[in-house]
């Protein structure tokens, strides 16, 4: 936590949160223009840009280079700092998001403060948008670099905001991604609290029988992971729990958790009788509604934590189960408990849910013979509703059609949107291989079963996944291709027909011929959707993408980090993934947490709001417009017997957005590193005449 100021005597240094002023130093600026392998240099005359800036006041040296980010390019910068006394660096190159850290580290290696470097995005802001106008692009590059030099003249050394960090992480979600994240964090010496909203761990993997491409039993894989997690003393697990309130910032999040009781003792020996006595019958979500369960239940044998729970949402408190309860084995009056924990970082691993087709979509919900791929997988499972037999309506399935891309790759005005008005236009990635895998399993068990695979495209993207398509072809699976504007029609066959359903497809493999497929069962290969996490989005200020999955900062440079420092993503909370990818993402999330918290101290960017105490009038306009909770607030101070209010910034909560700057009529707020004077100097430089172009060789 930042040190608290003495409110009885508020010197400017304390109230303004300003660093000690550095001695006046004449700017000696090095300018470097990158060709970016032709990305910039094929449009912008980089040599001309470098020459144009060579004689600008305060510019000591100016270079163009093919690859500034390369080792020789970085060495050029470090050598100039050491040999020519460069104390400010301006680099014109590709996006700052790609190589900001590269150049900061180069500057720092040479002994210069890393924040005395300014980056100009010549690729995205110039060459890529003006590729047909090289002369104008070159002039624009000069103006942009002149603005960078103007900014560099005003730059001051900055230091990161340093915060003490709890060496304790919260993982939200108890599927394989959450379990893997928790395990990797704990093995690195940090404490972990894992919360799972259901009363059982394992997520979707617990519902599957086998996983591809290894063919390993899913429960065996899950049990091995659970045993490793249970054996780790630094992991604390809370099931039936959810985060209901948060406060704080990276290094010091205060988390308020509410946990629902299980309602039944784990060693209750009359549980079967109690379940049988319960009169409530509801669809069993573990079996995707293919059977029912009671309000006292356990999803499957061997679940963890072991033992049944009370479904409080559906329990009618009829008390019939209490006839078998002794010594308060069942407590229907149990109430939730609430508690707080302090953590330094949070990993969100909230998983996915299968797409639920709309009533009537390809016959779903209208005809009982239309089911989803997850339901088929439960039918094929040994502990499923039919004991692993492919039966429907009491008879064996002799023919089935499997239709791809239901709930994925949707098109506006063709598919019905979700409640937010958006269709699922993304590819769910794993459905194709999962469908082919199911087809091969059916053929292996029931080789006489006729299987039709109706697809738009088949994307078996993973290593070895194409083999599933090849094997399905050899197994006699019939493939038909439809275009998205001609969605297959599903309807019942005439009464008395050998097969109960028909699927009409305009098959593009036979040049648009309409084909009717007679089947007993229609399987919709549904895509993935994120679990609803609107509550967490609001609590942590994290951002969903257009696909409703949680959004990372950058898919390549920061693939598991959110825009909120200290909040990371793991697994399918972020997008469709298979198990291997989820575990890889979980390992990446864990490594980010460990790097962040491992030293017990967190460093954040210094670009935060700063108050000029002499100008601040304490009217609170900045507090009212600030979008970040507790980033800026009014505090009461006293001096010479007089009380007054002034705005005070909490750097840990400030993200440097600058909204407060725009609303302060007294110009009492600036963002460190981006002061209003800096902007004014840059605007003047961009709009000024540039006589330096005269006489410079083209």
* Mean pLDDT score of the chain: 92
The Cα–Cα gap between 517 and 402 comes to 11
Task: Give the closest residue to 161 by CA, choosing from 676, 593, 672.
Answer: 672
Instruction: Please tell me whether residues 152 and 71 are part of one structural domain.
Output: yes
| Number of domains forming the structure of the chain | 5
**Which tens digits make up the pLDDT trace of 489-503?**
999 999 989 999 999
Structure tokens that stand for 123 in this block: 């690729």
Averaged pLDDT for residues 110-125 = 96
For CA atoms 360, 362, 367, 369, give the dihedral sign: negative
Is residue 19 situated within a structural domain?
Answer: no
- Distance of CA 287 to CAs 107, 200, 554, 561, 635, Å? 59, 15, 37, 34, 57
14 vs 186 pLDDT, higher one: 186
The Cα–Cα gap between 512 and 483 comes to 9
Residue 6 has pLDDT above 70, yes or no: no
Is residue 680 situated within a structural domain?
Answer: no
Residue 383 has pLDDT above 60, yes or no: yes
Write down the residue that tokens 């410079």 correspond to.
696
Instruction: Please tell me whether residues 389 and 427 are part of one structural domain.
Output: yes
pLDDT in the model for residue 394: 86
Instruction: Please tell me whether residues 402 and 515 are part of one structural domain.
Output: yes
**Where residue 635 sits, what CATH number does that domain have?**
3.30.70.20
- Distance of CA 404 to CAs 16, 71, 212, 455, 525, Å? 61, 48, 18, 5, 5
Is residue 686 situated within a structural domain?
Answer: no
User: Where a domain ends, among 466, 496, 529?
Assistant: 529
**Which tens digits make up the pLDDT trace of 315-345?**
999 999 999 988 889 999 999 999 999 999 9
pLDDT in the model for residue 604: 86
Instruction: Please tell me whether residues 490 and 506 are part of one structural domain.
Output: yes
Confidence of residue 697 (pLDDT cuts 50, 70, 90): low
Which residues are registered as beta bridge partners of 617? none
Q: Is 47 exposed, middle or buried (0-12, 13-18, 19+ CB in 10 A)?
A: middle
Instruction: Please tell me whether residues 342 and 489 are part of one structural domain.
Output: no
Instruction: Please tell me whether residues 367 and 516 are part of one structural domain.
Output: yes
Averaged pLDDT for residues 401-419 = 96
Instruction: Please tell me whether residues 632 and 591 are part of one structural domain.
Output: no
Residues 6+ positions from 627 with CB-CB distance below 8 Å: 657, 659
Which residues are registered as beta bridge partners of 566? none
| C-alpha Rg value of the chain to the nearest Å | 31
Structure tokens that stand for 339 in this block: 């508690």
**Which tens digits make up the pLDDT trace of 542-599?**
999 999 999 999 888 889 999 899 999 999 999 999 999 999 999 999 999 999 999 9
**Which tens digits make up the pLDDT trace of 434-468?**
999 999 999 999 999 999 999 999 999 988 999 99
Is residue 362 situated within a structural domain?
Answer: yes
Q: What is the DSSP code string of 544-611?
A: B-TTSSBPPSBTTTBTTB-SSTTEEE-GGGSS---HHHHHHHHHHHHHHHHHHHTTSEEEE-S--EEE
**Which tens digits make up the pLDDT trace of 249-300?**
999 999 999 999 999 998 888 989 999 999 999 999 999 999 999 999 999 9
pLDDT in the model for residue 23: 47
User: Where a domain ends, among 159, 191, 210?
Assistant: 159
* Helix count and strand count (H, E) for the chain: 17, 34
- Distance of CA 263 to CAs 75, 142, 374, 445, 461, Å? 66, 71, 30, 42, 45
pLDDT in the model for residue 327: 80
Q: What share of the chain is helix, strand, coil (3-state, %, to 5)?
A: 30, 25, 45
Instruction: Please tell me whether residues 241 and 363 are part of one structural domain.
Output: no
103 vs 604 pLDDT, higher one: 103
Q: Which range marks the domain in which residue 76 is found?
A: 29-159
Tell me which of 25-34, 146-155, 687-696 is least confident. 687-696
Instruction: Please tell me whether residues 563 and 643 are part of one structural domain.
Output: no
Residues 6+ positions from 21 with CB-CB distance below 8 Å: none
Averaged pLDDT for residues 667-683 = 93
**Which tens digits make up the pLDDT trace of 121-145?**
999 999 999 999 999 999 999 999 9
**Where residue 49 sits, what CATH number does that domain have?**
3.40.50
Confidence of residue 24 (pLDDT cuts 50, 70, 90): low
Can you tell me whether residue 436 is helix, strand or coil?
A: helix
**Where residue 462 sits, what CATH number does that domain have?**
3.50.50.60
Maximum Cα–Cα distance for the chain, whole Å? Answer: 100
Quick one: what percent of the chain has pLDDT higher than 70?
95
Residue 305 has pLDDT above 90, yes or no: yes
Instruction: Please tell me whether residues 540 and 597 are part of one structural domain.
Output: yes
Instruction: Please tell me whether residues 368 and 512 are part of one structural domain.
Output: yes
Instruction: Please tell me whether residues 367 and 234 are part of one structural domain.
Output: no
pTM of the model: 0.86
pLDDT in the model for residue 641: 86
The Cα–Cα gap between 191 and 594 comes to 10
Structure tokens that stand for 349 in this block: 């691993």
pLDDT in the model for residue 12: 35
Is residue 516 situated within a structural domain?
Answer: yes
In eight-state DSSP terms, residue 271 is: H
Is residue 1 situated within a structural domain?
Answer: no
- Residue 473, phi then psi, degrees to nearest 5: -65, -45
Consecutive H or E run containing 206 = none
User: Where a domain ends, among 529, 560, 578?
Assistant: 529
Is residue 414 situated within a structural domain?
Answer: yes
């Amino acid at each position: 936590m930042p040190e608290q100021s003495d409110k009885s005597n508020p010197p400017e240094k304390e109230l303004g949160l300003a660093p000690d002023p550095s001695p006046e130093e004449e700017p000696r600026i090095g300018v470097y223009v990158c060709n970016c392998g032709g990305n910039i240099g094929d449009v912008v005359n980089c040599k001309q840009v470098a020459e144009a800036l060579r004689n600008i006041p305060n510019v000591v040296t100016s270079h163009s280079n093919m690859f500034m980010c390369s080792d020789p390019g970085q060495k050029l910068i470090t050598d100039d700092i050491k040999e020519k006394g460069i104390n400010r660096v301006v680099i014109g190159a590709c996006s700052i998001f790609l190589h900001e850290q590269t150049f900061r580290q180069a500057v720092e290696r040479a002994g210069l403060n890393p924040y005395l470097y300014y980056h100009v995005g010549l690729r995205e802001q110039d060459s890529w948008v003006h590729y047909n106008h090289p002369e104008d692009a070159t002039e624009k590059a000069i103006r942009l670099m002149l603005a960078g030099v103007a900014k560099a003249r005003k730059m001051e050394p900055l230091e990161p905001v340093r915060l003490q960090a709890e060496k304790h992480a919260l993982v939200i979600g108890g599927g394989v991604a959450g379990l893997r994240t928790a395990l990797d964090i704990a093995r690195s010496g940090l404490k972990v609290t894992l919360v799972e909203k259901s009363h059982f761990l394992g997520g979707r993997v617990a519902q599957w029988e086998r996983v591809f491409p290894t063919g390993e039993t899913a429960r065996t894989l899950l049990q091995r992971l659970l045993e490793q997690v249970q054996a780790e003393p630094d992991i604390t697990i809370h099931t039936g729990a959810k985060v209901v309130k948060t406060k704080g910032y990276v290094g010091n999040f205060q988390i308020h958790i509410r946990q629902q009781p299980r309602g039944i003792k784990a060693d209750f020996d009359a549980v079967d009788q109690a379940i049988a006595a319960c009169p409530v019958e509801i669809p069993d979500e573990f079996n995707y509604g293919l059977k029912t369960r009671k309000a006292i239940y356990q999803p499957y044998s061997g679940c963890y934590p072991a033992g049944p729970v009370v479904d409080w949402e559906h329990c009618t408190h009829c008390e019939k189960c209490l006839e078998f309860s002794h010594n308060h084995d069942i407590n229907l009056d149990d109430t939730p408990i609430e508690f707080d924990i302090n953590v330094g970082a949070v990993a969100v691993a909230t998983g996915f849910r299968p797409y639920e087709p709309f009533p009537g979509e390809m016959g779903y919900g209208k005809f009982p013979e239309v089911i989803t791929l997850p339901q088929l997988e439960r039918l094929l499972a040994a502990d499923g509703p039919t004991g692993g037999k492919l039966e429907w309506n009491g008879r064996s399935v002799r023919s089935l059609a499997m239709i791809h891309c239901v709930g994925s790759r949707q098109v506006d005005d063709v598919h019905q949107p979700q409640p937010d008005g958006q269709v699922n236009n993304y590819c769910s990635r794993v459905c194709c291989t999962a469908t082919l895998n199911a087809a091969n399993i059916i053929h292996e068990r029931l080789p006489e079963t006729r299987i039709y695979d109706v697809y738009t495209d088949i994307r078996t993207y993973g290593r070895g996944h194409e083999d599933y398509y090849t094997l399905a072809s050899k197994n006699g699976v019939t493939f038909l291709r439809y275009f998205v504007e001609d969605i297959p029609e599903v309807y019942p066959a005439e009464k008395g027909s050998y097969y109960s359903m028909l699927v009409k497809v305009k098959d593009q493999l036979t040049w648009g011929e309409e084909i009717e497929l007679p089947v007993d069962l229609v399987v919709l290969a549904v895509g993935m959707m994120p679990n609803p996490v609107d509550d967490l989005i609001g609590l942590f200020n994290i951002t969903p993408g257009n696909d409703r999955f949680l959004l990372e900062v950058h898919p390549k440079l920061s693939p598991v980090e959110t825009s909120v420092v200290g909040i990371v993503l793991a697994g399918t909370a972020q997008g469709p993934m298979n198990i291997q990818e989820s575990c890889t993402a979980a390992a990446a999330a864990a490594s980010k947490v460990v790097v962040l918290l491992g030293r017990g101290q967190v460093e954040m960017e210094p670009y935060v709001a700063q108050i000029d105490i002499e100008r601040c009038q304490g009217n609170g306009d900045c507090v009212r417009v600030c979008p970040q909770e507790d980033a800026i607030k009014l505090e009461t101070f006293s001096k010479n017997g007089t009380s007054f209010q002034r705005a005070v910034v909490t750097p840990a909560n400030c993200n440097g957005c600058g909204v407060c700057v725009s609303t302060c009529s007294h110009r009492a707020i600036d963002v460190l590193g981006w002061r209003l004077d800096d902007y004014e100097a840059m605007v003047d430089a961009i709009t000024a005449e540039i006589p330096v172009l005269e006489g410079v060789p083209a």
